[in-house]
Amino acid sequence: MKALLKYREVWLLAAIAVLIGLISMRFPGFAAPGNVRQVFNDTSILMILALGQMVVILTRSIDLSMAANLCFTGMVVAMLNAAHPAIPIPLLIVIALLVGLVLGAISGLLVWRLNIPSIVVTLGTLTIYRGATFVISGGAWVNADQMSPDFIGLQRAAFLGIPVLSWIALLVIALFFLVMTRTALGRSIYAIGVNPTASVYAGIDVGRTKFIVFCISGMIGGLCGYLWISRYVIASVEVANGYELNIIAACVIGGISIAGGIGSVGGAVLGALFLGIISNALPVINISPFWQMAISGSAIILAVVLNARGERRQGRIILKKAEAA
Amino acid sequence: MTDTPAPRHIPNRLDKPFTSAIFSWEALLVVVAVAIFAINSFASPYFLDAWSLSDLTFNFTEKALIALAMALLIISGEIDLSVAAIIALASTMMGMAVQAGAGTPALVAIGIVVGLGCGAFNGLLVTRLGLPSIVVTIGTMSLFRGVAFIILGDQAYKGYPASFAFFGQGYVWWVVSFELTLFLVAAVVYWFLLHRTSFGRRVFAIGNNPVAAQFSGVRVGRIKFILFCLTGLMAGIASVLITSRLGSTRPSIAQGYELEVITMVVLGGVSILGGAGSILGVVLAAFIMGLVTFGLGLLNVPGIVMSIFIGLLLIIVIALPILWRRVRRERFA
C-alpha cells in the first residue's frame, strides 16, 4: 500500500475519483458507464496529443508547434477529401501521418543540427505552420457538406460498442507504453532527460534522439489533425488555436516534469482525462463554461506545487542515504 | 573591502576588436531593419510618409514595452507566458471600474496595480515555492484570463471616459504618439537598469549561474521576484494603452501576445537560456517586427500570412550566425 502511494499516477487517479464523486453528488448520472465512455471518447484527441508532447518534454525540450501542425495537416486532409472524395480514408490517415512527420522533422532538424533551443524553434514553426494553413486554404473553410461520409463517419463507427476514436486512443496509449518501457529508444529518452551529458558518455546520440522525438510529436500532431477535423467537421485556420498550451497543461497535471526525465504514459493519459472530465462536467453541473479556463489554470498551478513537493522529498532521501553511507 | 587599494576600473566586457563589433548581433539587426525599411519604401508609395510611419509604431509599442521587462526576466533564466492574460485581467478590472464610475486617473492606477499584483503573484510562486516559471505562468495564464472570462463572459465593457483615450490614441508632438514616447523613455530606463547598474550585473550573473550568484551574495530570489513584478507592471501599463486605444474590453483582448513578445526578445539577441542579451537588441527587434507587419499590411498581406514572415525571420536570424560560424570554422580548421 505504501509502495503504491509513491506513484504519482495513484494520487492522480484518486484525485480523478474524488472529482467524479463530487460531480456525481450534483449529477448522479455522471459516473454511469455510458457517460464515462463518452468522456473518454471526448478526451481521446487530447490524450493522444499529450503522449506526443510527453516524449518531447521528457528530453528537456518542448514542442509548441503541435496545435499548428494539427491545424495544417487537418486542412491538408480536409482539402484532399473535398477535392477527391475517392481517396480511401486509411490512405488519408497515412498522408496525415506523413505530413505531420515532415512538419515535426523540420523542427527536429533545427533542434538537432543547429542546436537552437526547442522553445525558440517551435515558436517559429508554430507561426509558420498556421500561416501556411491560411496560404493553402486561401482563408476559406472546409465545411461538413464538403467532406465525404466516410471521412466523418470512420471515427464514429462503433467496434465492440466503443467508437473507433477511442480505439485509436487505446492503440496509441498501448504503443507508447511499449516504446517507453520496453525499447532502447524509450530508455534513451528518459536518460537524456535525467542527464544529457551522462547519456552522451553512455553512447546515446542525444541530438538524433531529440530529432526522433520531434518526428514522433509531429506524426501525432498529423494524426490528430485528421481526428480533430473529422470530429468537429470544420477545417479552418482557427482550428485548435492556442491548444498547444492545453496539451502542455495535460502533461504538467499528469506529473511530467518540465525539467525532463520524469513522467509516464499513465500520467499523461490521466492528466488529459482530468482536464477532459472538468470540461465535460461544467455544463452538466450548471457552471458556466467561462469558468473552465480559470479552473484548469488553478489545477495546473496546484499540480506543479504538488509535483515540486514530491520531487524535493525524493532529493532529500537520496542525500540522507548518501550521508548514511 | 576597506583594505583594497585604489578602486580598479573593471570594464563591463573586455575590449573587442572593431571587426567583432561589425559582426555583433545588434549590427546584424540594424542591417535587417535597414533592408526591410528600404524594401518597404520601394514596395509601397504610401510607406514613406510621416503619418504612416507614425501609425507603424502603434503596431509594436504595447508589446515592446512588455518585451523590455521580459528581456530582463529571460536574461535571468526565467520566463513569463502570462503577460497577455495579465493585460486581459487588468483591462477587465478597468472595465469594471468604469461601470462603477471611476475617472481616468483611477483607471490608470487600477490597470497598473492589477498588472503589478499579477506579476507579484507569479514571482511569489516561482521564488517562494521554487517552481519552474514556464509551467507556473502557463497556469497563471489560464487563471488570469479565466477570471476575465468569468467576469465578462461573452460581454464587453465600453464607455471609457474621453480623457482616457489619450494614452492609446494621443500625440505628444506632431506625429510622435504618447505610446512611442513612453516606449522610448522606458527603453532608456531599462537600458540604464540593465547595462549601467549593479542590479543589471546581478541579473546577468543570475542568468549565467544562479548558484554561483547566490554564493557571491546576490539575492537571487528577491531579484527574480522584482523582475516578475516589473514584467507584470509593464503588462499593466500595456493594458492601459491597449484598452485606451481600442476603447473597449473583451476577455479575448491581446490573445497570443505572449508569443509575439517572446519572439521580439529572442529576435533581439537575448539568449532563451539566460545570461546574455541587450536592450538595444530588443528595441531594434521591436522596430523590425513593426516594420515587417506594417510593410506587409500596406501591401494588403493578411495578418496571418505576416506571421509566416515573423516565424521565418525568427528562425533565420538565429540560424544564420550559427551556420556562419560553422562555415568559418570549417574553412579555417
CA-closest candidate to residue A141, choices A152, A150, A133, A149: A133
Q: What are A174-220's pLDDT values in tens digits?
A: 999 999 999 989 889 998 988 888 888 888 888 899 999 999 999 99
Interface contact flag, A245 B142, Cβ < 8 Å: yes
pLDDT at A317: 40
Cell numbers for A279: 470540461
pLDDT at B11 over 80: no
Q: Which CATH number fits domain B46-326: 3.40.50.720, 1.10.3470.10, 3.40.50.150, 1.10.540.10?
A: 1.10.3470.10
Name the A residues in 274-303 with CB < 8 Å from any B CB: 288, 290-298, 300-301
Q: What are B109-156's pLDDT values in tens digits?
A: 999 999 999 999 999 999 998 888 888 888 898 899 999 999 988 888
Q: Which residue of A has its CA nearest to B126?
A: A305
Name the B residues in 184-243 with CB < 8 Å from any A CB: none
pTM over 0.90: no
Interface contact flag, B308 A127, Cβ < 8 Å: yes
Interface contact flag, B319 A298, Cβ < 8 Å: no
A19 and A303 in contact (C-beta within 8 Å)? Answer: no
Question: Which residues are B171's β-sheet partners?
Answer: B177
Cell numbers for A78: 480536409
Q: Where are the domains of chain B?
A: 46-326
pLDDT at B145: 92
**Domains of chain A and any CATH numbers:** 2-324 (1.10.3470)
pLDDT at B1 over 60: no
Q: What is the dihedral of CA B290, B296, B300, B305, to 10 degrees?
A: -100
* C-alpha–C-alpha distance, residues B73 and B18, integer Å: 30
* Cα B131 to the center of its chain, rounded Å: 23
Q: What are B266-315's pLDDT values in tens digits?
A: 888 888 888 889 999 999 999 888 888 888 877 778 777 877 887 887 78
pLDDT at B21 over 60: no
* C-alpha–C-alpha distance, residues B86 and B79, integer Å: 14
Q: What are A25-34's pLDDT values in tens digits?
A: 877 777 778 8
Say which of B130, B132, B305 has its CB closest to residue A258: B132
Q: Where are the beta strands (DSSP E) in chain A?
A: 158-159, 162-163
Q: Tell me whether B303 touches chain A (CB under 8 Å).
A: no
Task: Name the pLDDT band for B20 (thresholds 50, 70, 90).
Answer: low
Phi, psi of A17 (to 5 degrees): -60, -45
Which residues of chain A make contact with B312, given a CB cutoff of 8 A? 124, 128
* C-alpha–C-alpha distance, residues B182 and B266, integer Å: 22
Q: Tell me whether B304 touches chain A (CB under 8 Å).
A: yes
pLDDT at B183: 93
Cell numbers for B96: 469594471
Q: What are B194-203's pLDDT values in tens digits?
A: 999 999 999 9
Phi, psi of A159 (to 5 degrees): -130, 120
Question: How many CA atoms are closer than 13 Å to the CA of B117, on its beta-carbon side?
Answer: 11
The larger pLDDT score, comparing residue A7 to residue B181, is at: B181
ipTM: 0.78
pLDDT at B204: 94
Which residues of chain A make contact with B263, given a CB cutoff of 8 A? 123-124, 127
Mode of pairing for the β-strands spanning B171-173 and B176-177: antiparallel
pLDDT at B6: 54
**List of chain A residues with pLDDT < 50:** 313-325
Which residues of chain B make contact with A117, given a CB cutoff of 8 A? 272-273
Say which amino acid occupies A257. Answer: S
Our CA-based measurement puts residue A236 at a distance from the nearest CA of chain B, in whole angstroms, of: 12
Angstrom CA distances, A318 to A100, A312, A313, stand at 42, 10, 9
